[in-house]
Amino acid sequence: MVDDPLIMMIDITKNVCYNIRKEIDMDSKHYNGALSEMKAALWYLEQGCTIFWPTLTQASCDFIALYPDGTPVRVQVKSAYWITRPTGRKYLMVTTRRGCGGEGYKTYTKEHCDDIFIVSDDRMWLIPVEVLSGAQSICLDKGQDVRSRSNKRSFNAEEYEIGTNSC
């Protein structure tokens, strides 16, 4: 029997996500997105936050984290993915744009969320939305002077990495 409530929460999160995928035959994209949201929420819980989930599935943020001092933060969670270029070079990327309604893709702004929380298999980043300022996707490779696709400015993901994920 595990006495640490955080370890219990991690196990519960893994089991819930696994069972959801198994029961409704969820495709891997949506499964990974749901799991990333749970991992991000768990990180905020570790910081002492209370998590509030929206009742709408297409809300402009995935959840709100309320810090112990009363500061609310609207969080948008993104799952990173690997792509391989024709040269064989692999890149860890994340798409930082939203929706594709009748108006096409748009980037996140302070109007939608405060932070973008990015989850990969074993790493996590917390980036204030204003830092991304118009970027539709970013590369998260360590030690690279990477550029966002839309505005071709330099972006150093290392300074926003918050560690490895515990799940």
CATH code for the domain in which residue 31 is found: 3.40.1350.10
Q: According to the model, what pLDDT value does residue 69 have?
A: 97
pLDDT at 98: 72
pLDDT given at position 122? 81
Closest CA to 57 of 39, 34, 73: 34
Tell me what the mean pLDDT of segment 111-127 comes to. 91
Supply the DSSP symbol for 124. Answer: E
Q: Average pLDDT, stretch 56-84? A: 91
Between 64 and 21, whose confidence is greater?
A: 64
**pLDDT attached to residue 83:** 83
Q: What is the DSSP string of 66-135?
A: E-TTS-EEEEEEEE-EEEE-TTS-EEEEEE-EE--STT--EE--TTT-SEEEEE-SS-EEEEEHHHHTT-
**Residues 24, 125, 49, 106, CA torsion sign:** negative
The predicted-structure confidence for 127-165, as pLDDT tens digits, reads as follows: 999 888 777 888 887 544 444 444 445 567 888 888 765
Say how far residue 156 (Cα) sits from the centre of its chain: 17
> By residue range, what is the domain housing residue 16?
5-163
pLDDT value of position 50: 95
Please state the pTM of the whole predicted model.
0.76
Residue-averaged pLDDT of the chain: 77
3-class secondary structure, 12: helix
Q: Inform me whether the pLDDT recorded for 82 exceeds 70.
A: yes
Identify residue 86 by its one-letter amino acid code.
Answer: P
Dist CA 60 CA 36 (whole Å): 16
Question: 42: pLDDT confidence band, cut at 50, 70 and 90?
Answer: very high
Q: How many domains does the chain have?
A: 1
